[in-house]
Structure 1
């Protein structure tokens, strides 16, 4: 078994004549949170679509826990949990109903599913809301349910596509703290696309993606040193050549 939860090798992708990703290479290790920074149009969404097989990669290789996503799709995707930027919960079902449906898709029996649902909701302080319809929840609580759903089948890698967009500061901080705790306690691997600098922890890894190419990667401290930068925001502006007022990573 590989120590890498995610391996991306020589990955390129184009929409017609427009290249979205150009020879992208990186790994995410077990027990590591990797932050993916990039301006709009950098290729982040395309990358996530290729990892989840919404798109098919014609050039390069993607492996989840050693399983090739193209050749061993079932084994590979079974290792993956995903929280998309746009909510995908059914608003007319309760929290428990949404989670039971997801568990059933992964072949988890009712008794085991209910035990896992209780475990994940309790960790997110949401178990007392389990009977409420999703439409009754605020944005932060919906995000917590989506994170619980993504973790029900005990994935090795969690993909987070800007999961805190539009949330208030306390909700964002609670989710950031919970995910980083999971990385440490459960040895979960995380690939987190975000524009928010305050969501990056000191021991995280960092990937800067711009115009489909990786401009920097490594532990945060290593990237700061290599780019002679004081913080991730400065790294972003230097490597994407965006001025300080550009809409990009912020605190």
Structure 2
């Protein structure tokens, strides 16, 4: 049974209508035949995979594999050269407004204004999404309480730790209540505890709120057996499926071994 089948069985009652079943079966994110080049250098080559609703999909690849390029295409920072990308059935080229409203993003570089307070950062972001000030403040208080930082609403961002900043960025990405969350190397530069806290928080969003997550990483220990997995190497998808499926197909004991068998990269050459 695939992750999508399991999700459908758990949340769609047997008496649901055909339209309800069709909606649940629509991928949160669908990437089909996407290629991208910078001049003569091919950064992505025929990339195809889906992210199911209510699932955690790890996009695993070394630095330079094409993960950030793919995120730039999904978020329309770059135009699509070849292939198609859709979010809950909305093609991002033909219906960008509908597609992007369903998505929240946490980019690898920090994007908070360090000289504004936590609340000011959140209210500014909410205003960009057309959320009224009263509703924005209510939502901001809600997400801050959820991540355990309600007491830091008035603090300047520069006074927070790296892990706290990341949690604020995730909270900000959820203000407009998206159904898909993209995170590009969200734990880079964090200590072990902060990394674990961020991962646990994102996994809770999947199980408790049914958000679909695409988590880009180069760290094997951020992937657990319950995840869906896409291995991206030199711009190509080398494997996709749930972790157990990928391990079976590669006859590997763990994700580290599967990655090395697929890419030929030795463990001593991996980015840390």
Alignment TM class, shorter chain as reference:
over 0.9
Query: 1:202 Cα shift?
Result: 1.8
- 1:129 pairs with one of 152, 155, 173: 152
Structure 1, unpaired ranges of 5+:
none
Query: 1:3 Cα shift?
Result: 2.4
- 1:219 pairs with one of 242, 264, 272: 242
* Partner Cα distance (1:63, 1:211) in 2: 23
| Counterpart position of 1:204 | 227
| Counterpart position of 1:190 | 213
Richer in helix (by share): 2
Query: 1:247 Cα shift?
Result: 2.1
Residue 174 of structure 2 is aligned to residue 147 of structure 1 = no
Structure 2, unpaired ranges of 5+:
1-22
Instruction: Between 139-148 and 109-118, report the one with greater CA deviation.
Output: 109-118
Matched residue SS, 1:40:
coil
Query: 1:201 Cα shift?
Result: 2.3
| Counterpart position of 1:113 | 136
Tell me, yes or no, if the aligned pair for 2:55 and 2:210 is still in contact at 8 Å.
Answer: yes
Tell me, yes or no, if the aligned pair for 2:34 and 2:44 is still in contact at 8 Å.
Answer: yes
Aligned residues between the structures? 249
Q: Deviations over 1:81-110 (max 9, x none)?
A: 111111000000000000000001111111
Query: 1:170 Cα shift?
Result: 1.1
What TM-score does the superposition give when structure 2 sets the normalisation length?
Answer: 0.89
Instruction: Between 76-85 and 197-206, report the one with greater CA deviation.
Output: 197-206
What TM-score does the superposition give when structure 1 sets the normalisation length?
Answer: 0.97
Q: Deviations over 1:179-232 (max 9, x none)?
A: 001101111000001122222122110000011110000001111111111111
Write out the 4+ residue segments of structure 1 that deviate beyond 3 Å after TM superposition.
Answer: none
